[in-house]
Amino acid sequence: MRTDRIVGIDIGSRSIEMALLEDGRLVDQSKLPTTFDPLNQCAKILKGIRSNKIVTTGYGRKLFAESRKDRDVQTITEIQAYALGARFLFPHVRTVLDIGGQDTKVILLTEKGRVSKFEMNDRCAAGTGKFLEFMATALQISLESFGDFALGADKRIQISSMCTVFAESEATSLMARGERPENIALGLHLAIVQRTLSMLGRVGQEEPLVFAGGVAHNPCVRFLLEEGLKFSPSIPENPDMVGAIGAALYGQKETEP
């Protein structure tokens, strides 16, 4: 009996995720930084992985597919991948929110899991993981601890600009006036969440809502989002793996008789 082993790869701006499905079961997953050589990183993440098909999504999907003329490689959009991955992990999901390194996506699904509407911010880093990374560096805080650092604030301040250059200038000005760095960090997180809530409002989110992407690891964003939504979003155990899982699921659907 043939065993179907489908690999999904999500090649993003900051990280590459790989998910392996074997006869419909998720049996392996891994993650590497994208670096300046994403193809070499893809080779590393696939080393020793046996599969019948590879499906790739994310910014580097076409680059990867063009480099693998010897293999059966398909590409799908991030919208498709995140819709499929979220539905696999949370069968009743109606809205998918993904905040990644370089973009933010809001996807509205029908009861049957089909994409009915979406909005994607991919024209600048505002409101994304890259914005948080840039501002954490400006405040000399590690990205991994930035969310917890922001939760140590003792008051809320408003950051008016979401442009990374202007936001850094505003943060520097606030520090010069004696504002606590924790309060500035919270203001930056608030700006991201307010922007995200506006996107959700335009798409018309419905519950249940799944929060995916690397920024879903950030405890301050999670707290502020729940506060703004007035309900708790569902967060996968590995929120940055949703796209890779969805890509693998697409490959599985394509091989079904």
Give residue 101's pLDDT. Answer: 82
What are the CA-CA distances from residue 170 to residues 11, 67, 147, 184, 210 (Å)? 33, 43, 19, 9, 32
**Residue 18 pLDDT exceeds 90:** yes
* In the chain, domain spans: 1-90+239-257, 94-235
**Residue 144 pLDDT exceeds 70:** yes
Give residue 22's pLDDT. Answer: 93
Local structure of 46: helix, strand or coil: helix
Which residue type does 66 have? Answer: E
Cα 165 from Cα 151, distance rounded (Å):
23
Give residue 127's pLDDT. Answer: 65
> pTM here?
0.91
**What is the b/e burial string over 38-77, where b = at least 16 CB atoms within 10 angstroms of the residue's CB?**
beebbeebbeeeebebbbbbbbbbebbbeebeeeebbbbb
Give residue 1's pLDDT. Answer: 45
Average pLDDT over residues 110-137: 83
**Residue 121 pLDDT exceeds 60:** yes
**Are 107 and 79 in contact, with CB atoms under 8 Å apart?**
yes
Query: Which residue has better confidence, 216 or 71?
Result: 216
Cα 213 from Cα 227, distance rounded (Å):
19
Q: 1-90+239-257 and 94-235: same fold?
A: yes
* Structure letter (DSSP) for residue 71: S
**Other C-beta atoms within 10 Å of 234: how many?**
17
Local structure of 186: helix, strand or coil: helix
What average pLDDT does the chain have? 90
Helices 181-203 and 129-138, interaxial angle, to 10°? Answer: 170
For the domain covering 94-235, report its CATH number. Answer: 3.30.420.40
Q: Where are the alpha helices (DSSP H) in the chain?
A: 38-46, 61-67, 78-89, 129-138, 143-150, 164-176, 181-203, 219-229, 242-255
**Are 57 and 80 in contact, with CB atoms under 8 Å apart?**
yes
For the domain covering 1-90+239-257, report its CATH number. Answer: 3.30.420.40
Pull the structure tokens for residue 25: 């079961």
Give residue 130's pLDDT. Answer: 83
Pull the structure tokens for residue 94: 């109606």
Give residue 9's pLDDT. Answer: 97
| Matching residue, tokens 């009743």 | 92
Give residue 48's pLDDT. Answer: 92
